[in-house]
Amino acid sequence: MGIKLLVGIFILASTISYGQLQEAVLAGGSFWFMDSELENISGVEDVIVGYSGGTIENPTLKEVLKGNTGHRESVLVKYDDEKITYEELLYKFLKKIDPTDDQGQFNDRGEQYSPAIFYVEDSEKEKALNILEKVKVDGHFSQMKVPVIQLKNFYSAEDDQQDYYKKNEFKYKYFKFRSGRDRFLDDHWKNK
């Protein structure tokens, strides 16, 4: 009986997070790719795919893909600020996209796929601008085309879009290979 109780206490203690969960909303092209890339970063507790920045309430994927809602495919990242800072998260995010392309990302074209960092507080805006400059220097980019935009809304995408890369592994890997994302990232960041 005592052993079972100790095991139960150990399991409970090992799931307690000591940092504060924070949230960041980021757009970096297809939210399927951002979901899989960011969810595997140490300190990231959850990634929810959705839509940000547009004028239509509760848009559907079908509406957003038409490109006339003003929404970007985005991710809401929940992270433990004792394991990863906001600045570290942004730096890792920017190394997963092409920050010089504001017309979409890789083979996904249009405003709905364009990158952005959404902020709530002015301090987040300032940190985002500083990290953009750091990535510009570290990546040897001549310009950065990732706007820093005040967050107006985030609408969670449909259930079948959440964790798409896990639910549809073969399809996801095919789309990812065809996108050119991995080739660009490997070629650009390999020796930097």
Question: 60-83, pLDDT tens digit by residue?
Answer: 999 999 999 999 999 999 999 999
Provide the strand spans (E) within 57-139: 72-80, 104-105, 108-109, 116-119
Can you list the domains of the chain with their CATH numbers? 18-189 (3.30.1060.10)
3-class SS of residue 142: coil
Average confidence (pLDDT) over 163-178: 92
- Per-residue pLDDT band for 189 (boundaries 50, 70, 90) equals confident
Of the candidates 156, 136, 135, 129, which has an alpha carbon nearest to the alpha carbon of residue 23? Answer: 156
Question: 3-59, pLDDT tens digit by residue?
Answer: 444 444 444 333 344 568 999 999 999 999 999 999 999 999 999 999 999 999 999
The DSSP string of 8-73 is HHHHHHHT---S-EEEEEEE-S-HHHHHHHHHTSTTEEEEEEEEES-SSSS--HHHHHTT-S--EE
Of the candidates 90, 79, 73, which has an alpha carbon nearest to the alpha carbon of residue 33? Answer: 73
Average pLDDT value over all residues in the chain: 90
For residue 66, what pLDDT is reported? 93
Residue 55 near residue 69 (C-beta atoms within 8 A): yes
